[in-house]
Structure 1
Amino acid sequence: MTYYVYVEPDPERRSMAGPYTEQGFDIVPELADLDEHLPRNPETLLVVVGAAVDLEAALTFAAYQRVQRPLLGVILLRRTPDPDVLAQAMRAGVREVVQELDAEGIRNAAVRSVDLSKALSTTMRATDHTRSAKVVTVFAGKGGCGKSVVATNLAAALSAQGGRRVLLVDLDLQFGDVAIMLQLPPARSITDAIAMAGRLDETGLRSVLTSYRPNFDVLLAPASPAEGEHVGRDLVTEVIEVARGMYDFVVVDTPPFVTDQVLAALDLSDWFVPIVTPDLPTLKSIRLTVEMFDLLEYPRERRLVVFNRADSQVGLTVEDVEEAVGAHLSVHMPSSRDVPVSVNKGIPITLDNPTHPVSMAMRRLADRCAGGAAEQVEAAPKRRMFGRRR
């Protein structure tokens, strides 16, 4: 993981950047390179902007990051700092301006900036203790129901173009598809959090996440099925509990069978989203799912059953399906060839074509999760943790 970055476009200056590399800095030649570097390294705490970087560009970068990443410190190096530059830098959010040959001054400024970032992180967690993300778990007892399509599109709809902070968790630890559906590099996954089990915090969780869009992050499943065997129930619980304090919504995609890890997510869920399609094997699996939810005392008013491919002409009416599964169908999602096209493009149809009927269905589901019936059941008794019942 990378905590520090040094930006310097001048090759001669970069050739003398040995002290930076010794202290664990990543060296990048242009500010524009940080557009890719920072999302891949969300744990970065410090950017040192070299003296050859254009002043206006450096100040614009600092002003933008002050809003987007308040924990990220920016130190500006100049050949000969003057009061006017210092004043502009402070207004833009630069933490310190240092003479480029003052090695000791740069080192001290970096220490002060990192200490400030860590203190701010602690303060933000303390002042934001009331934040508690709603956890939405998408489940289907049978594969091929479109569960991952619903999960990715629901997360996209909940993000509201970056207006809400959303985390999508791929909990299909053997064969998760979220990475390929969003065309994300599997450089990090939930298995990278195993070493932090029992002491996972916000910084640690951010270090294993992958950014998809602004305020839309993803915790990917392992690239290898064997790696998923080492992810325990307690780690899943810890991940979700930490994420609650960081996001507005946590959407969990699950495998088509019940595991201890899935039960951990369900026990922490505010909304349960079973997926049903109009075919008998799926109807049977969802009926068993509903009965399992009843057995585990998950509130019925918190279940939002999605009827996928609702317009399929297969001889089953909506009433037939509701009677078969023993539950009301909350959202009807039509069948469309545009859905697999969007999957192949790596862009959820909710983002790619917001006016599409499938997108509109996903927004209705997102609206239900974000509000709607939520206020009416807020006083419902909170269920006990499944582990305690056992």
Structure 2
Amino acid sequence: MKMETQKEMKDIKSQAGTNDSVQKQIKDKFGIDIDQWQFDADFMGFVTDEHSLNMVKDATSDLFKGAKLYQAPLKAVYHFLKQNGLPDIVLLDLSAENDLRAAAQALIAIDKKAHLVVIGRENEIELYRDLMEIGVADYLVKPVTAHETQRVINRIMDAKQAALMDEDQDLYEQILVMGCRGGVGTSTVATNLAWILSEELNNQTCLFDLDVHFGTAALLLDLQPCAGLRDALKKPERLDKLLLSSSASKMTKKLSVLALEESPNSELRVDPSAANMICNFLEEDNRFAVIDLPRTAIHLFEPMMKKASHLL
């Protein structure tokens, strides 16, 4: 039985390149014109009986607008998917196949990133484990129900959404806040933005006030500035992760602040290369860096502005 299925899949693969002849064979044998099928990149379903077709239709009516569902044998389905690729989620009835594992593996080989849900007849844990091992997303046993089908599809969609959120969490974003003139509330915006990102949205965030003489970030948060930042800005060659960590004032577990309150008579000037190095270090431990950039020094920080994810 296994040899017959493997031979059948091999025959389908070998014929996949001759589109016209294969499509004519499919039309002559099964009365199916796959030229009339419409490809959908999000979801498609292929079943072999009317009951399954109705159940899948009920399950997907609220999930996908105008879901593309077809009742057809594997030969027609394989040829169509070989030519068009697999949608993101594809539900496929393989209950008529002698070797369900081999049939599923042949389809997964077309696109390993697709989420393949297989329908079969055998309710065996060993079969389920084998299918999961080769990359099948889930397995449904006939007779399928609308509720179970919808539950499986929802689980796949939820897992995809969670994966996207995890990817977003790994991204570092640098937000530059600048004012057109003094007194317009630039520091207030930067400080409140950093607080929201860290405390309300639960992201590791650093607020970096680059206005070392007239900046108000530390004052707004009632923090004592750390003198270590002065050394880091004056001598960038000494800058390392340890020095930067000791230079930051810890407001909360999620929010740290880099700020100074230098006297107007102080000769301290921010070295742009030092500021860029600090931003590079911030990327290692923070999800967000909110940088309050003094309007008088914007021309010195063009590289930082180009790297910024957002400019406010």
Scaled by the length of structure 1, what TM-score is found? 0.34
Scaled by the length of structure 2, what TM-score is found? 0.42
The structure whose Rg is larger is 2
